[in-house]
Each structure stands twice: as structure tokens, then as C-alpha cells.
Amino acid sequence: MTQGGNAPLTAARVTVEVTAPKALDVSGLLLTDAGKVRSDADFVFFNAPNGPGVTLRPAAAGAPDAITVDTPAVPADISKIVVTASPADQTSTFAGIEPTATVRDADTGAVLVTFTPPRLGRETALIVVEVYRRGGAWKVRAVGQGYADGLAGIATDFGVSVDDSPAPAPHTPAPAPAPTPAPTSAPPSAPNQAPVPPSAPYPPSAPTVQFNPPAEPPLPPVPAAPPAAPVAPVDPRIALVGAPPVPPAPPAAPAAPPAPADRPKITLDKGRVNLVKGSSVSLVKNGRPFLSSVRMALGWKSAARGRDIDLDASCLAFDAQRKRLETAWFMKLNIFDGAVAHSGDNLVGGEGGDDEAITVHLEGLPAEVHALVFVVNSFSGQKFTEVRDAYCRLVDARSDEELVRFDLTHSEPRTGVVMCKLVRRASGEWEMTALGEYVDGKTARAMIEPSAALI
């Protein structure tokens, strides 16, 4: 096919394979007549490979990424499935690596049509082909439309909620109005009251007379109390026996507890630090900031042997008012001109080593960045009870030396966890705190509010 051309589909189930000289990420979007997805569930990609009537087959054993469309299973309100591609290396463009789409009968493997778009340039994502419904029949169209803002740009155009814009500022209630002062003149007459006819002129006012009440008669003097009668001496033995018992003195108030001693500040002076939930370490050594670039590495394993677990790590940046500034995640790997760089999405937690890493160049962060919060969530909805041995560790990006480690010691049946935070103190030093708070959140966007509350 040539760009813009179309052809009828002669098979009910078709597979669209997309190949290129470099590895690609292939996705599918299910669109209504309005050209939009119904919800984020209509976005089929590497983190959510199954949709209604549409599935993603990841590249494996020499076979490329592919989208399979089972046309009888596509919902009636879906009129089009758009097949997209973007370089797996998100720093790359399509210049010189134009992809080829091969549409096959999914059951027999027979080739139905192929399409290679014209020469591309700085595009970082591409709508390759679309499978669409027309008059009760299904067809395929060669599109070849490029985007310069990656897969996130395509997803946004078609209505997918992409976490790529600052969160709205929290609503601040308006201050209560000041109380209205009492009127200094008589209130106006009620609106339904009949008008009062003009009255005759008032007579001259009589002179004002000030009334001074008579003074109260003086009170008689109070007689002085008679002198007390002399007290006869009392035999102390009789006094001890006959006098009423003296009530005991009230107990003294308990002394205030001593003020708790300040928790000693933990630094990197003694080397590697293991944190527990709620504990912190200051990233200084010998009284001075020790690090300019760090890497937050995160890892996990599947609790069930042989079963894949798909988790995503993200870094949320906040200002001092807990307003989110930016998010580094698998669809936006670099923020603040590369001061925070995500390693990319790892679809399956491995049996050893880090699964995802986020590098932070502390000296390159804008001054308004007050805190970085590192979170892990399951886009596919898997619970953390299906995960074991989850951890995060802070590494010196220059020497690869592990400096701080935090291991999760328990799990909860929830889809997200706020792992830790880096906070810039007033002195300019950075402090890492282990959090380990589980929340319900399958996306980086859903992790914003609980993360802000923990800063």
C-alpha cells in the first residue's frame, strides 16, 4: 500500500507486525466515532497488553512486536483501531529507520498487505496503520503520520490521560468575610411598608434637663471586731488526743517528663546506611554535601515462581508547597533538562539486580524543587502481595557505590507503594527518608496526592 491507501480485510482476525532496524514499542488505541478512546483501558501497550478484541504480542524469539485485532470481538461502539510505533530507545528518532507494517491473517500467517511510510526525520512516534469499520466491513488504511513528542503525544491526542502536565494547585478556601459592623442609623423601612406621609413641622425642642439622682446616704461604719479572748494553754497530750486529725497535704504534682533528646543525625560518615521505615539519613559526609549525582535503584521479585510481575517506578518532583512540578516515568524519561533521568520501563521484575533506576543530578535541579518522591505502582493492577523482596537503594552515580538501602519487610494487597523521598533542607543538604507506605494507585498520576501528603 501507499500512504493514504486502503484495502479490505479478508480475514476476521488480523495481526499487524511492525519492524524496523531498531527495536520498537508498538501500541494500539481503540477509538470511537468521535476519534477518542472511551477510557484509558482502550490503550493497549506494553504495560497493558490486552484490550477488548485487541492484544499486543511483545517481540520474542525473532518475532517483532505486533497488534492482533479480532474483529468480531471488537465492541460495537469502537470504529477504528490505530496501530502506533515508537523507538524503544526514547532518545532516538525515526530518521533512517522507517518501519514496515505487515498485515497478516492471524490464523494462517498469510500476508494480506504491507506498508512502509515515506522517509521520516525527527519524528519520535508514528501512526503506522489503522484498522477500521466501514459499512459493516473491516478495512486497513496506510497512515504514516509522525509525532515529535513521542507516544505520549499520540496518546494525548486520542484522549488517553497522560501524566505530563503539572497537577492543579490545591484549592484554597476563601477567607471568611469580616463581620459586618452594626448600622449607625436606623434601618430603612421594609419594602412592603406603605409610604409615610410628610408630617407637620416639629415644634422647637425643649431645653435638655440633666437628671442627677440624689446621692446615696453614707453607710454606717463597720464596728471593729472584738479582741480575741486569750487562749488558755493546752496540754499537748490532750491536744494530740482530742483535736481533729489534720488532713494530709495534697500530693505534689508529678514532675514534667524530661524533654526527649534530639535523635542523633545520621550521615554518611560511617559508610553504608540501612534504613527502616520512617528513618532518615542526611547525604553529607564530614559536615559537607557529599554527592552531586545519585541513582535511585529499585527492584522486586515475583512471589510466585515462574509468574511475571510488571511494576513501574516513577519520580515525582514537588515544590515547598507540595505542588507537583514534574514526573519522570516510563512515558517521560527525562525532566528538568535531564537533571532527572529514568532508565526506562522493565516489564518483568528480574531474579537479580535492579529492575529500574532513576538518576538525579542534584546540582542540576531547579531551585524550586524541594522534594523528590520515588514510587512504584502496578499499571496492570497486580497487588503487592504478589511481590517479594522489594527494595530501593541509593547509589553514588559516579562510583556506583551503594550508600543507602531500604528493604520492604511486609506487603499489602494494594497496587502502589511510596518507597522513599529526597528532601532539600534549608541548609541546602539533601536528606533521604524511608517511607514504605502502600496506597491504591495504578498510575504515576494516582500517586501524586498520597506522595504530597508524605513530604
Residue (of 358, 361, 357, 341) closest to 292 by Cα position: 361
Q: How confident is the model at residue 214 (pLDDT cuts 50, 70, 90)?
A: very low
pLDDT at 234 over 80: no
408: which residues sit within 8 A by CB, 6+ positions away? 390, 391, 417, 419, 436
The whole-number pLDDT of residue 130 equals 95
pLDDT at 54 over 50: yes
Q: Is 152 helix (H, G, I), strand (E, B) or coil?
A: helix
The whole-number pLDDT of residue 332 equals 86
Average pLDDT over residues 143-149: 85
Average pLDDT over residues 147-168: 72
* Alpha carbon distance 324, 221 (integer Å): 79
The residue with greater pLDDT, 255 or 10, is 10
The whole-number pLDDT of residue 88 equals 85
Question: What would the 3-class secondary structure string for 227-272 be?
Answer: CCCCCCCCCHHHHHHHCCCCCCCCCCCCCCCCCCCCCCCCCCCCCC
The whole-number pLDDT of residue 386 equals 87
With vertex at residue 314, the alpha carbon angle to CA 312 and CA 320, rounded to the nearest 5 degrees, is 155
Task: Kindly report the length of the chain.
Answer: 455
Containing H/E element for 387? strand 387-396
Render pLDDT for 121-140 as a digit per residue (tens, 0 to 9): 888 899 999 999 998 899 99
Average pLDDT over residues 58-75: 92
% of the chain at pLDDT higher than 70: 75
Long-range contacts of 231-237 (CB under 8 A, 24+ apart): none
% of the chain at pLDDT higher than 90: 42
Containing H/E element for 393? strand 387-396
How deeply is 52 buried, as exposed, middle or buried, from its count of CB atoms within 10 A (0-12, 13-18, 19+)? middle
Choose the weakest-confidence range: 6-20, 303-317, 433-447.
303-317
Render pLDDT for 244-266 as a digit per residue (tens, 0 to 9): 555 566 666 555 555 444 556 78
pLDDT at 421 over 80: yes
Choose the weakest-confidence range: 134-148, 253-267, 311-325, 349-363.
253-267
